[in-house]
Structure 1
Amino acid sequence: MHSKSYNKLKPSHQPFRIHGMARRLLLSVAIAAATLLTPPGAAGYPWPLCGQAGGFPADSNYKASLSLLAATMPKNTSMSPGLFATAQAGAAPEKVWALALCRGDASASYCFSCIDQAFQDLISSCDYKDATIYFDSCVLTYSNIHFRAADDAKYSPTYSIRNLANATADSAGFQRLVAALVNATAGSAAFNSSARLYASGQADFDKELPHVYSWAQCTPDMSPDRCWRCLVRLMRELPTYFTDGIGARVLGIRCSLRYETQPFFNGTATVRLSATSARAPAPAALPNVGAVGKGIKFRVPIMVPIILLPILSAISLIACFFLWRKLRPPTEAEQPYPSYSAEVEDVESVDSIMIDILTLQTATDDFAESNKLGEGGFGAVYKGTLPDGEQIAVKRMSKSSTQGLEELRNELALVAKLKHKNLVSLIGVCLEQQERLLVYEFLPNRSLDLILFAKDSAKREQLDWAKRHKIIEGIARGLQYLHEDSQLKVVHRDLKASNILLDMNSVPKISDFGLAKIFGRDQTQGVTNRVVGTHGYMAPEYMMRGNYSVKSDAFSFGVMVLEIVTGRKNNDDSSGKSEDLLTTVWEHSTTSTVLEVVDPCMNGSFLEKEVLRCVQIGLLCVQENPVDRPTMSTVVTMLGGETFTLPAPSKPPFCSRKNGTCAD
């Protein structure tokens, strides 16, 4: 194959997307042929892709950081089991992030020389702060902005080239064979390969083109599922760009594909197909449907099988894979991926919020203890700072926690679809290296309970009545959205003060949807044999019989209202009181002495009418009979105006903390 036999196609303008900001890349490429592992400096190479992040002078700190990476990454990459490395150098705003990958069939010595040459050529040919370079058997990329979302073909630039020569004797059969071979090779790279996520393929064809060879590879830090999705996106480009071409490749930072009619990789192919195993009878000839693009004619007999075969093969492969995983007991290392992959796919926006593990390790100082914000049954939460200065909270699911796995399913299925100012915002998800990480907006005031129940009275005094009333209203509006106004009807099931986060303006945001349940629009309640939640906030019908509904959330809300007014925890053994908070407040309400239980830390600076109204609303919400409790839309109306006459509440149930029983 000679360089003149190849032609570049329009590159896929898929920019690095960092925090939702698109950055267009100016692609300048040199085209060349490739046979086997040609020397890095062979004629026609390299293929540099220079970005738009601005230039840097030769004596800059950025250039010095690049030189430091150039001195260390070739060795680190070649010594890695996956022939892969990521690194960073320098300090913001001159910090550099880099990624290097060698083809899976390369030797360590070849990998070293290829990455070393890549640094030299890229630094000399691109004076931009972000750039990528492709050799036949290695790729190098660096940027002044961390590759937060550059985890697959959708978020990294791809470069497509094809051989100008076409299959002529049986072009339709050839394309069917190519589709089957590439699909099988991609599946092997994702699910059946070693740590390198690499596979090569070979198929027999006919006398004109005796053999077809293929290659697929992902960066080894990707999970098998994500590698497969990345390669599927590249395979979708093949029918568009490479009809009839006897050779083509789609190169990306995170994954790449290639097929040729001449051998181009070292060693024996890991995937072998016979001509009969991938070819079907050619469909009846149909007239051309016209030219598309720059003179390439797309014919229906060719396009239909090319499009359908990868899709059908992908469905079959995935179905067989998950059936196999389901039938055999999963190991602990395998647990994160197949166990919730279906739930991940149900969330339309998950791909757009994927964050790589290196970003989160860097942001949290590798999950340092000093950055831990708290810990629960699901795992720990860490504070982090992204390269652009954005602060985040990272929920790290415990690898041994079944509760954490179930929470992850719900969080992905719910939080990514629910948007409201009184719900915490999900920023990203990471499912790499056996980690299960959810990334949220960081709220500086943290959770309500840390202030409301603080031993330091000065801290509690920060919550004056205006802020407390604002928090009560915000929680009510968030619940109204969940119960009535969102596209889903959601019962939270674990509402409590520690799951109410406060932003810098004390705006409340409901968090932690791990135990939430989705209701059908006509559904009013559900029943479970596994009662989970926090004692003191659980409605009696849920705690005793497992019945939950929007009214059980209303009960939890009522408890929080009374806690916010009094500054006391419900059923707090440390208080030394025999009665729970609900009974205490109700008895004071019957004797018109409610003000005696109002939090003294407010120093009497509150509106008496508002306090009494909130107490009455709280007592209405904690009534024993769920039918008597108001809906959250009614609660919002009650909070918003004095013209709404409130009914008299009945006595709340007394729930024993010790034995988990409730009584009138």
Structure 2
Amino acid sequence: MVRTNSSLHLLSLHLLLLVTANEATTFTIINRCSFTVWPAAVPVGGGMELDPGKEWTLDMPTGTTAGRLWGRTGCSFHGKGGQSCQTGDCGGVLACTDNGQPPISLAEFTIGQGQTDDFFDISLVNGFNVPMDFLPVPTQGGPLCIKGPRCEANITTRCPTELQAPGGCNNACIANGTSNCEPTTYSGFFQQMCPDAYNSYNGFTCPTGTNYQVIFCPPLNLTVSPAPASSPPAPMGQASRRSSILRSHVAVLAPVGGFLFLTILFVITFFTCKQRTQQQRDMEEEEEFQELQGTPVRFTFQQLKVATRQFTDKLGEGGFGSVFKGQMGDERIAVKRLDRAGQGKMQFLAEVQTISSIHHINLVRLIGFCAEKSHRLLVYEYMPKRSLDRWIYRRHDNNDSPLDWSTRCKIITHIAKGLSYLHEECTKRIAHLDVKPQNILLDDNFNAKLSDFGLCKLIDRDTSQVVTRMRGTPGYLAPEWLTSQITEKADVYSFGVVVMEVISGRKNIDTSRSEESIHLITLLEEKVKYDNLVDLIDKNSNDMQAHEQDVIQMMKLAMWCLQIDCKRRPKMSEVVKVLEGTMNAESNIDHNFVATNQATFGTAGNVTSSVPSSVPPVASDVSGPR
């Protein structure tokens, strides 16, 4: 009897252990950061050191309430085994029994029991330190739950100086020493960067029995594969009958089945190879963007959708994409979304590579970019007055007064300074190759900045010219494009066209005018022959008419830039000197500005080719109007 009772007690204990073992939720903590993190969890788990690429598995008992898990950064260990941490540090002790200290990204959860669901979220407690995903792991035949909160963005790269903390980014309330702060102050920055972060309504639920992954520094578009579920074997008699039927079917349908098998095998092989090729191409593109020098902030597509309110406020449209107004924290932004996948990718790479490595007051500032699957977006500083074309062409959506003479002079000078920097002050000469009013942006004070570097070309200092396929916008192309042998002097010609548009207040090519007035530069040739340049001054502006002689001097500078022979055009630094009054414009110039003879283009010299010289220059990257 005693032995029986003892056996019953052992059996009861064994069953209790089995029930306890089954009533636990598995948390797999993965570190995908490039640095070591020190994650900790309560009420069980304590803490541990987790190197890049490593995993840590925790079993959290069912019925856990107010569970928390966080990743700590800025920790250090000295030779005697002691340790200390700067953020979320539990006092520097790895066996944590308390929550980490702010600022902190915190995974919170309640593990249900019986019919009760699990509840979980990511909270940004008075700030942010480590990007993380909190993902349910789907199981075949198990509870259906496929969504969790994500906070992929590394907010610390965008953290204002006054909010920076060791290894993190403080909430403005903490930085200002304020204990009671309006919710909008908190959410204005962090909630936009992590739209899934917990607020009053966006916690997440899953059925009890779901397991989870917590991933630090998650990659873009991360998905969790379902856990495999085994199928029970069929009874032996049933399996035997199935085998007999199968043999008879195979005997009858062998030829047809063989053909279908080979067809299916071919299709599977084809699509598998295609998928692998695409994956390889995607990996190569990812490596291209990771290797960029001085790369700005990288955003997710979801973040930019939120920032632009689903791309609703369009600012403009160009040959390779549309530009939308957005808000990122306290800063207004302009987001350019490329429309063409093939040609647009090259423009995108060129623009990120070029503008992320150069800085000038007259070049628009690139804040960041997004390269996610087929999405290609660029994030710029917002220019309130938008582009120059809406001010000089007198579009119907602008009822403001015409620009006065001093404002037009300032804009022309700023354009010249931006081009001078690109041509003469960078490590390599940079030819913009798409200088036009649509690509010149204006701030509140009409300070001008050059934008849109999608068509730019880098030219080595020891190379006089390069051969490249035609790129730019009709009406602004220098004559030498007919040979495809160009230098940065192609920009000087385009600059001359823009100056004439600014002065005359009209488009370079305007089909609404009489036949003899359609082409502004051809009209300029006629007016200078008969000394009637005054006819080209913008008649909508009394101030321009009042400065007639100054305007004519500016036209003469434009005509110097419009020389057909590129060698006779000035350098942009010389243009700047003329505009600043320290140098006079060249007076011995040719008054023919439209090329009729290829020999006059001035294309001799040391030429390096980016395309075979024997190929006629028929291909082009031509930007359309905005």
Give the TM-score category using the shorter length.
Answer: 0.5 to 0.7
Distance of aligned partners of 1:373 and 1:339 in 2 relative to their CA distance in 1, 3 Å threshold: farther
Aligned residues with identical type, % of pairs: 31
SS at match of 1:575: coil
Alignment of 1:634-653 (within 5 A): 634-641=574-581, 644=584, 646-653=586-593
1:628 alignment counterpart = 568
Q: What letter is aligned with 2:305?
A: Q
- In the alignment, is residue 591 of structure 1 matched against residue 546 of structure 2? no
User: CA offsets per residue over residues 176-221 of structure 1, 9 Å max, x none?
Assistant: xxxxxxxxxxxxxxxxxxxxxxxx9xxxxxxxxxxxxxx9957877
| Higher Rg | 2
Instruction: Name the stretch that deviates more: 544-553 or 641-650.
Output: 641-650
> How far did 1:604 drift?
3.7
1:385 alignment counterpart = 327
For 1:611 and 1:414, locate their aligned partners in 2 and report how far apart those are by CA, in whole Å: 34
2:521 alignment counterpart = 582
For 1:421 and 1:430, locate their aligned partners in 2 and report how far apart those are by CA, in whole Å: 24
> How far did 1:397 drift?
1.4
1:536 alignment counterpart = 475
From 348, 359, 365, the equivalent of 2:293 is 348
Distance of aligned partners of 1:623 and 1:339 in 2 relative to their CA distance in 1, 3 Å threshold: farther
> How far did 1:488 drift?
3.1
User: CA offsets per residue over residues 586-645 of structure 1, 9 Å max, x none?
Assistant: 332343332221001221445334312210110011111001100101111111116525
Q: What letter is aligned with 2:522?
A: T
Structure 2 portions without partners, runs of 5+: 1-32, 49-55, 73-85, 89-107, 111-116, 150-169, 173-185, 196-211, 230-271, 602-626
SS at match of 1:654: coil
Q: What letter is aligned with 2:457?
A: K
Q: Tell whether the 8 Å contact from 1:619 to 1:652 is kept in structure 2 after alignment.
A: no
Structure 1 portions without partners, runs of 5+: 1-11, 16-24, 54-68, 72-77, 116-127, 131-142, 152-199, 201-214, 228-254, 256-264, 269-326
For 1:345 and 1:403, locate their aligned partners in 2 and report how far apart those are by CA, in whole Å: 21
Instruction: Name the stretch that deviates more: 569-578 or 423-432.
Output: 569-578
Alignment of 1:492-503 (within 5 A): 492-503=432-443
> How far did 1:581 drift?
1.2
Q: What letter is aligned with 1:551?
A: K
Alignment of 1:5-404 (within 5 A): 31=46, 37-39=59-61, 46-48=68-70, 101-102=134-135, 104=137, 109=143, 144=187, 145-146=189-190, 222=220, 337-338=282-283, 340-350=285-295, 352-368=296-312, 371-386=313-328, 388-398=329-339, 400-404=340-344
For 1:453 and 1:114, locate their aligned partners in 2 and report how far apart those are by CA, in whole Å: 51
Distance of aligned partners of 1:26 and 1:391 in 2 relative to their CA distance in 1, 3 Å threshold: farther
Distance of aligned partners of 1:595 and 1:487 in 2 relative to their CA distance in 1, 3 Å threshold: same
Distance of aligned partners of 1:106 and 1:45 in 2 relative to their CA distance in 1, 3 Å threshold: farther
> How far did 1:573 drift?
1.8
For 2:147 and 2:590, locate their aligned partners in 1 and report how far apart those are by CA, in whole Å: 80
SS at match of 1:38: strand
1:613 alignment counterpart = 553
Q: What letter is aligned with 2:220?
A: M
TM-score for the superposition, normalised by structure 1: 0.54
> How far did 1:453 drift?
0.7
User: CA offsets per residue over residues 148-197 of structure 1, 9 Å max, x none?
Assistant: 7789xxxxxxxxxxxxxxxxxxxxxxxxxxxxxxxxxxxxxxxxxxxxxx
For 2:314 and 2:287, locate their aligned partners in 1 and report how far apart those are by CA, in whole Å: 30
For 2:371 and 2:121, locate their aligned partners in 1 and report how far apart those are by CA, in whole Å: 19
For 1:346 and 1:584, locate their aligned partners in 2 and report how far apart those are by CA, in whole Å: 49
Q: What letter is aligned with 1:344?
A: F
SS at match of 1:348: coil
Distance of aligned partners of 1:501 and 1:334 in 2 relative to their CA distance in 1, 3 Å threshold: farther
> How far did 1:478 drift?
0.2
Q: Tell whether the 8 Å contact from 1:394 to 1:439 is kept in structure 2 after alignment.
A: yes
For 1:84 and 1:222, locate their aligned partners in 2 and report how far apart those are by CA, in whole Å: 21
Q: Tell whether the 8 Å contact from 1:443 to 1:502 is kept in structure 2 after alignment.
A: yes
User: CA offsets per residue over residues 536-570 of structure 1, 9 Å max, x none?
Assistant: 1000111x111221111100000001111111211
1:452 alignment counterpart = 392
User: CA offsets per residue over residues 478-498 of structure 1, 9 Å max, x none?
Assistant: 000000012331011111111
From 480, 483, 499, the equivalent of 1:561 is 499
Q: Tell whether the 8 Å contact from 2:40 to 2:46 is kept in structure 1 after alignment.
A: no
- In the alignment, is residue 422 of structure 1 matched against residue 362 of structure 2? yes
User: CA offsets per residue over residues 224-259 of structure 1, 9 Å max, x none?
Assistant: 8xx9xxxxxxxxxxxxxxxxxxxxxxxxxxx9xxxx
1:505 alignment counterpart = 445
Q: What letter is aligned with 1:365?
A: R
> How far did 1:39 drift?
2.5
Q: What letter is aligned with 1:476?
A: A
> How far did 1:40 drift?
5.9
For 2:190 and 2:62, locate their aligned partners in 1 and report how far apart those are by CA, in whole Å: 27
Alignment of 1:514-553 (within 5 A): 514-528=454-468, 530-542=469-481, 544-553=482-491
Q: Paired residues, what number? A: 427
User: CA offsets per residue over residues 635-658 of structure 1, 9 Å max, x none?
Assistant: 1111111652532321233369xx
2:414 alignment counterpart = 474
> How far did 1:43 drift?
11
> How far did 1:473 drift?
0.3
For 2:599 and 2:401, locate their aligned partners in 1 and report how far apart those are by CA, in whole Å: 35
For 2:489 and 2:317, locate their aligned partners in 1 and report how far apart those are by CA, in whole Å: 28
> How far did 1:267 drift?
6.6
> How far did 1:113 drift?
13
User: CA offsets per residue over residues 433-492 of structure 1, 9 Å max, x none?
Assistant: 531111111111111112211245974734111111001000000000000012331011
> How far did 1:349 drift?
3.0
Q: What letter is aligned with 1:599?
A: D
SS at match of 1:490: strand
> How far did 1:585 drift?
2.2
For 1:216 and 1:460, locate their aligned partners in 2 and report how far apart those are by CA, in whole Å: 55
Distance of aligned partners of 1:593 and 1:362 in 2 relative to their CA distance in 1, 3 Å threshold: same
Q: Tell whether the 8 Å contact from 1:488 to 1:519 is kept in structure 2 after alignment.
A: yes
> How far did 1:533 drift?
1.5
Instruction: Name the stretch that deviates more: 353-362 or 27-36.
Output: 27-36
User: CA offsets per residue over residues 342-376 of structure 1, 9 Å max, x none?
Assistant: 441332233x50122222111111112xx112223
Q: Tell whether the 8 Å contact from 2:351 to 2:454 is kept in structure 1 after alignment.
A: yes
Distance of aligned partners of 1:588 and 1:366 in 2 relative to their CA distance in 1, 3 Å threshold: same
For 1:401 and 1:609, locate their aligned partners in 2 and report how far apart those are by CA, in whole Å: 49
For 2:516 and 2:450, locate their aligned partners in 1 and report how far apart those are by CA, in whole Å: 31
Q: Tell whether the 8 Å contact from 1:373 to 1:382 is kept in structure 2 after alignment.
A: yes
- In the alignment, is residue 570 of structure 1 matched against residue 508 of structure 2? yes
SS at match of 2:333: strand
Distance of aligned partners of 1:583 and 1:222 in 2 relative to their CA distance in 1, 3 Å threshold: same
| RMSD of equivalent CA atoms | 5.1
For 1:84 and 1:430, locate their aligned partners in 2 and report how far apart those are by CA, in whole Å: 29
